[in-house]
Structure 1
Amino acid sequence: MPIVRALALVAGVIAIVPSAIVPSASAQSFPSRPVTFVVPFAPGGSTDTVARIVAQAASGPLGVPTVVENRTGGAGVVGWSAVARANPDGQTLLTLEMSYTIAAGLIPTLPFDAKKGFVQVTTAVENPHVMVVNPNLPAKTVAELIALLKANPGKYFFGSGGNGTNTHMGGELFKSLAGVDLVHVPYRGAGAVLQDLVAGQVQVLVTSLPTALPLIQSGQLRPLMVAGATRSPVLPDVPSAPEAGLPGMVMTFWVGFAAPAGTPAPIVERLNKDILAGLALPETRKRLAELGMDPVGNTPAQAQALIDSEIARWSAIAKAADIKMQ
């Protein structure tokens, strides 16, 4: 759904929502029913998978069942807006990831304040991005790739899951740091770009590690760099961004959770405590590690600081590359 249509839909829904807000639950009575984790994307992706693992793990400490609800549309706008207008009683949480902080700098007409529309609960997990190429590309290191691109400006392509996505911003960040002319080809989602990358229609992709890992392990994609400060345990032979000569390429994919603005502090603290308790379970950590995800479990203040810094970073990169949402 185009962003303009999505915003119109959201505006229409907001217009029919009663202005009266149901009183928020008290900390003593929370949670009074199942807690819903809203994912603003379709089932099956990295964000959805993490949300389901964390929601299941948090159910025990919370003492109530948890439900994962996928509210898709508008590149995340529909889901974000649904939680922004939800009752601030802690019963509805938003699953956040980096596309939210990218969109905050690209969509001036969001129907809520990107920095104040939610209160952060925690950043649950993180993992680095990875730069992968088609195995037929005659470049086995980042240095060789940069040399190839500089010798052939405008002749090679990097794919993305769409304008303004993490894959788009990762490619633009690489172009800026390496000083290369690499043509952007946007797709409709990660599945389509991965398919064409394997087929050789595009040659380069910067994406989250869990997204590319199965194709790396099967030999269908070649990893050149883990876009992290250090190497990843699941790809111990692949150099980190500093080792590859691009320390500014450190780019973390993260997933966190937030509640609607106005949610009482005691409820936010309870949510934080119980989600962190779920993250600490050995089975949870094992499932996340298999995806290449590292548990974080920080405080609400630390999660908010991440949101603020990410919005500032991606806004600057989007402005420099003249990226606009379509």
Structure 2
Amino acid sequence: MKTTFLRTVAAIALLGSAMAHAQNYPTRTITMIVPFAAGGPTDTVARLVAQSMGNTLKQQIIIENVGGAGGTIGAARVAKATPDGYTLFLHHIGQSTAPGLYRKLSYNAIDSFEPVGLITDVPMTLVAKKDFPAKDLKELLAYVKANKTKVTYANAGLGSASHLCGMLLQTAIGVDLTTVPYKGTGPAMNDLLGGQVDIMCDQTTNTTSQIKGGKIKVYGVTTKTRLASMPDVPTMNEAGVPGFEVAVWHGMYAPKGTPKPVIDTLSNALRTALKDPVVKQRFADLGTEPVADARARPEALKAHLKSEIDRWGPIITKAGQYAD
């Protein structure tokens, strides 16, 4: 009886402490981990959202770029962080593909984190170097099939959005391309711009300005319908690759055990940020838009993450591309 009583008292004390913490939260600077290099598309999304959320929370949110191993190094750091709301994690679709791509993870993609909410679904574009000979997707596919040993496909590394899109493309057209992995989207795009590699599939947040500037060619977008920001660019489906749809969604997380009142505060701040006219306009400039309010909630991100893990697992297994 005494032991049970003491445990109850301790539990009440912990609950009271958590509630007091949540009522005062936040009282200092928050760190948001982005598991990729600065300047990439996920980093861009994070900085836009962090600025607006910081205004709502009345505390600065600083971005810390912890790149490497397809985002798993940054994820592992967050999974081990103190669950007090002062360490956040913003990751893209790679959070759902890591369990399939990596045989050994020091964390569980679902159980090691508290979801805060979805942020945006970023379309992807199939692009090529400026002087690539094909004038449209039909010609590109024919050229690739005829020159599959010569055509080089760039990606930002194992587990990156460009890697995943490339796997889908090669599966869809039944061709194995010479893949050139880079340590990030920036170096991959630089070599595409310089003509060192031929084609690439990447997020509109990274390709829109290059496309509009005429520095690279674009052959299709990976959405069901054409993009308002690039109305002349056909979807992959209408251009010759039926059913080819992929969006790079971004989600925000906190370490497992972060008090629910803190998660609620963060979720509210995120949803406010996604309604911010400045954020919405910047997203539009990059060819994307914030998710609907109902999807920017913890339960929506948790359900989406589970469904995406189920979706990508078989695709990765079929491709046979793993990392230790």
Task: Report if TM-score (shorter chain) is over 0.5.
Answer: yes
Deviations 1:66-111 (A, max 9, x none): 2222233443233212211122222221111122322221113211
Going from structure 1 to structure 2, the CA distance change for 1:321 and 1:280 (only over 3 Å counts) comes to same
What amino acid maps onto 2:261 in structure 1? P
Alignment partner, residue 120 of structure 2: 125
Aligned to 2:164: 169
Using the TM superposition, give the Cα deviation of residue 161 of structure 1 relative to its aligned residue in structure 2, in angstroms: 1.5
- Secondary structure of the 2:165 match is helix
Letter matched to residue 123 of structure 1: L
Unaligned runs of 5+ in 2: 1-13
Q: Residue 10 of structure 1 corresponds to which residue in structure 2?
A: none
Which whole-Å CA distance do the structure 2 matches of 1:187 and 1:89 have between them?
35
Q: Is 1:252 matched up with 2:253?
A: no
* 8 Å CA contact retained: 1:40, 1:76: yes
CA spacing shift, 1:103–1:176, aligned 2, 3 Å: same
Change (3 A) 1:136 1:69: closer
- The match for 1:295 is 290
- Please show how residues 174-193 of structure 1 align to structure 2 within 5 Å: 174-193=169-188
Output the amino acid matched with 2:288. M
In the superposition, relative to structure 1, how do residues 209 and 24 fare at CA in structure 2: closer, same or farther (>3 Å)? Answer: same
Q: CA deviation at 1:275?
A: 1.1
* Aligned counterpart, 1:101: 96
Matched, 1:271 2:266: yes
Instruction: Identify the match of residue 41 of structure 1 among 24, 36, 42.
Output: 36
Amino acid at match of 1:213: T
In 2: Cα distance, 1:187 partner to 1:69 partner = 21
SS of residue paired to 2:271:
helix
Shift of 1:247: 4.0
Partners in 2 of 1:242 and 1:301 — Cα distance? 31
Q: How does 1:196-235 map to 2 (within 5 A)?
A: 196-235=191-230
What is the CA distance between 1:302 and its match in structure 2?
A: 1.4
1:72–1:198 Cα change, 3 Å = closer
Instruction: Give me the whole-angstrom Cα distance separating, in 2, the residues matched to 1:43 and 1:195.
Output: 15
Give the structure-2-normalised TM-score. Answer: 0.87
Task: Say which of 309, 312, 315 aligns to 1:314.
Answer: 312
* Native 8 Å contact 1:169 1:314 kept in 2: no
Identity %: 37
Gaps of 5+ in 1: 1-20
Structure 1 residue 24: Cα displacement: 4.7
Q: Is residue 120–residue 249 contact of structure 2 (8 Å, CA) maintained in 1? A: yes
Please give the alpha-carbon distance, in whole angstroms, between the structure 1 residues aligned to 2:170 and 2:269: 41
Deviations 1:232-252 (A, max 9, x none): 122110011322233432111
Superposed CA offset, 1:100-137 (max 9, x none): 32222111321111121111111112210100012322
Instruction: Name the SS of the counterpart of 1:122 in structure 2.
Output: strand
Q: Aligned partner of 2:33: which letter?
A: V
TM-score of the superposed pair, with normalisation by structure 1: 0.86
Match of 1:4 in 2: none
Residue 184 of structure 1: how far off its partner (Å): 1.5
Establish whether residue 154 from structure 1 lines up as the match of residue 149 from structure 2.
yes
Aligned-partner Cα distance in 1 for 2:105–2:18: 25
Instruction: Give the letter aligned to residue 80 of structure 1.
Output: A
Task: Quote the residue 1:58 is aligned against.
Answer: 53
**3-state SS of paired residue (1:246):** coil
Q: 1:147 and 1:42, CA in 2 relative to 1: closer, same or farther beyond 3 A?
A: closer
The one-letter code matched in structure 1 to 2:171 is S
What secondary structure, in the 3-state scheme, does the structure 1 residue paired with 2:31 have? strand
Distance 2:247 2:279 in 1: 20
Given the superposition, is the C-alpha separation of residues 199 and 44 from structure 1 closer, same or farther in structure 2, using an over 3 Å criterion? closer
State the one-letter code of the partner of 1:188.
K
Task: Decide whether aligned partners of structure 1 residues 92 and 188 sit closer, same or farther in structure 2, where only a CA change above 3 A counts.
Answer: closer
| 1:54 to partner: Cα distance | 0.7
Give SS of 2:23's match.
Answer: coil
Shift of 1:46: 1.5
Query: Per-residue displacement from partner, 1:267-298 (whole Å, max 9, x unpaired)?
Result: 22221111111221112211222222311152
Greater Rg over alpha carbons, structure: 2
Q: Which moved more, 1:307-316 or 1:213-222?
A: 307-316
Q: Is the 2:78–2:89 contact (alpha carbons within 8 Å) kept by the matching residues of 1?
A: yes
